Structure 1
Amino acid sequence: MAEIPLLGLEIPAFGALAALRVAALGATRIELNALGSYGEGGLTPSLEDLKQFIFASAQRCPLRIMIRPRGLASSPAEAGGLSKRDFHYNAEEFDIMEAGIKEFKGLGLLDANKGDGFVFGILEEDELEEYEGHIRRQRCRVDKARCTRLIQTARPFKCVFHRAFDEIVSCDTPALDEPIRPSWETGLEDLAACGFDGVLTSGGLGKAINNIEMLEKIIQKAQALQIETVVGGGVRTANIGDITQRLGLWMRANSVYLHSACLRGNGSEDIDPEEVQGILAQLG
């Protein structure tokens, strides 16, 4: 009987010390973010964070570097959570993202053979379009030109499109008579065209456990496009069994990863060891 592969657990860590801790606790992959940026949805860490982690790490698991120059939108109308405005970057911000990738690569500390890579995502600005005599806003979409450029800069390292994808999923509210393909489906094809290796998603806005039906569609389409689906968004010990069972993830372990911050839930960036160990125990 063939052995069923284990599901991997990716943990976002905020700062080098947190990364070292989650590595010691058994994370199979780490998403490295700047210290203090959890409330901003994760921002680009410092070069020193990477150096400190690499030189002090006794257990070297694959590392993904977040490339995000700023987080939550400052507009009061968009307060209280991420919005698509958080993933639109001007020319100066894009240059910062590209320069950041070059600087991390230039350190010579990342290892493509270990699965190291980068996490980023850029959406195009909404534009007005005319449809059957009506003016409406286009649905948000992947900025293919700039994402492709960042991927080319990052190679040979893997690249993951982060939860900006959930904004694309949330755009699927056209009138029933509009012959438009779902945004999430077009979005995945755009990611494949750019060259992304994976997509981090909760299947739309909110928690993964509440978006199972959409996640099922995304995973199937992503598999066909050879894109890894990283399922995140409120993944905890209390629901990870339900998520894995309902999505049949045990049989998709080669193309799906799980993502959980495993924080204590007190508003800090403190890792909860019991949460990490509890998830790993359920993953076998």
Structure 2
Amino acid sequence: MPPVLEVPVFSAAAAKVAVEHGATRLEVNRAGSYAAGGLTPTLAEVEAIADAVPVPLRIMIRPRRPQVEQADFLYTDDEFQQMRRELAAFVASGLLQHDRGDGFVFGILKENSTGRLGVDIERNRELVQAARPYACAFHRAFDLVLGDAAAADKRHAESALAAIRECGFSGVLTAGGPGSRGALDHAAMLKELVSTAITAGTNAPCLEIIVGGGVRSSNVRTLAAQVLRGSNKARHAVSFHSSCLVDSAAAILLGAEGEGVSGEEVEQIGRTLASV
């Protein structure tokens, strides 16, 4: 089996295109929130997608856009309670299917005394428990935890993954490092994360490493080769996440406002992953 190809979508139309062309999981976000990195969708938006596709859904739980004056994924008590309410509403809605593999994606950070960002274990664990029986993946907030020195700081990365596991997450979405550099630039760290997830999973369920951040048909073969390196265990621990957006000119013609999915891009990535 090829690795999972997860595509973030912002409408039922985009979800349909993604699945018809080979996406094997969808991350569901509020319409119009791509520029913000994805925000919590409405129940109506999830309902429209849940009724239209057979693949697993991962619902984004993110209460607001990034704020310039502070690091992202640091939430107030009011924002945390909003996340709790939104997650509880989805769990109670009957829209999600555990057997299909539906779940959630979110991430809450905290700042330590030195100003370094870390995983807020208590609040993340509370949301993971509230989401049961649905799986939860930690958002790309993880890249901020890794920090600018991530490529040279293996022990810190191992500690960060241990915190994710302690919260009860089943996976983590990551580019392997922060900033505008994509997953291909952080391939060495991603390989370390996969190795750590496999090793730690010998006595517990293996964390899924969801590789995302600039994943495109033009680079996914190289990226997969570097991250997987021919390991069968790695193939079972790694998924790939790509927006597969239509280009800007096509988006204007389609009225997609930059959030339309390119079926051709989905197909190309899917074919490549099936062949690595």
Runs of 4+ in 1 over 3 A off after TM superposition: none
Q: Name the residue aligned to 1:63.
A: 57
CA distance in 1, matches of 2:103, 2:96: 8
The CA deviation at 1:183 is 2.8
Identity, in percent, stands at 39
**Contact 1:140–1:171 under 8 Å retained in 2:** no
**Contact 1:172–1:183 under 8 Å retained in 2:** no
Q: Name the residue aligned to 2:193.
A: 218
Moved more, 249-258 or 19-28: 249-258
The CA deviation at 1:212 is 0.9
Which of these residues, 267, 270, 276, is aligned with residue 277 of structure 1?
A: 267
Which of these residues, 116, 133, 141, is aligned with residue 156 of structure 1?
A: 133
Give the alignment's Cα RMSD to 1 decimal. Answer: 1.8
Aligned ranges for residues 102-141 of structure 1 at < 5 Å?
102-127=88-113, 137-141=114-118
CA distance in 1, matches of 2:25, 2:164: 22
Unaligned stretches of 5+ residues in structure 1: 79-84, 128-136
- Confirm or deny that 1:232 pairs with 2:246: no
Deviations 1:30-85 (CA, angstroms, capped at 9, x unpaired): 00001110100010011001111122x1x41000000000122233xx7xxxxxx2
- Confirm or deny that 1:169 pairs with 2:151: no
CA distance in 2, matches of 1:183, 1:122: 18
CA distance in 2, matches of 1:172, 1:146: 26
CA distance in 1, matches of 2:225, 2:61: 32
TM-score by length of 2: 0.88
1:33 is matched by which residue type in structure 2?
Answer: N
TM-score by length of 1: 0.85
CA distance in 2, matches of 1:102, 1:220: 34
Aligned ranges for residues 204-215 of structure 1 at < 5 Å?
204-205=177-178, 206-215=181-190
Q: 1:249 to 1:26 in 2, by over 3 A?
A: farther
Secondary structure, aligned partner of 1:283: helix
Secondary structure, aligned partner of 2:133: coil
Q: 1:275 to 1:181 in 2, by over 3 A?
A: closer
Secondary structure, aligned partner of 2:9: strand
1:195 is matched by which residue type in structure 2?
Answer: G
Secondary structure, aligned partner of 1:182: helix
Bigger-Rg structure (1/2): 1
- Confirm or deny that 1:192 pairs with 2:130: no
Q: 1:275 to 1:93 in 2, by over 3 A?
A: same
Give the number of equivalent residue pairs.
Answer: 256
The CA deviation at 1:89 is 0.3
CA distance in 1, matches of 2:30, 2:41: 4
CA distance in 1, matches of 2:132, 2:148: 30
Q: Name the residue aligned to 2:254.
A: none
The CA deviation at 1:181 is 7.5
Q: Name the residue aligned to 1:242.
A: 222
**Contact 2:148–2:177 under 8 Å retained in 1:** no
**Contact 1:171–1:183 under 8 Å retained in 2:** no
Deviations 1:107-129 (CA, angstroms, capped at 9, x unpaired): 112111111000000001242xx
Unaligned stretches of 5+ residues in structure 2: 201-205, 249-256
CA distance in 2, matches of 1:199, 1:231: 8
The CA deviation at 1:196 is 0.5
CA distance in 2, matches of 1:143, 1:170: 16
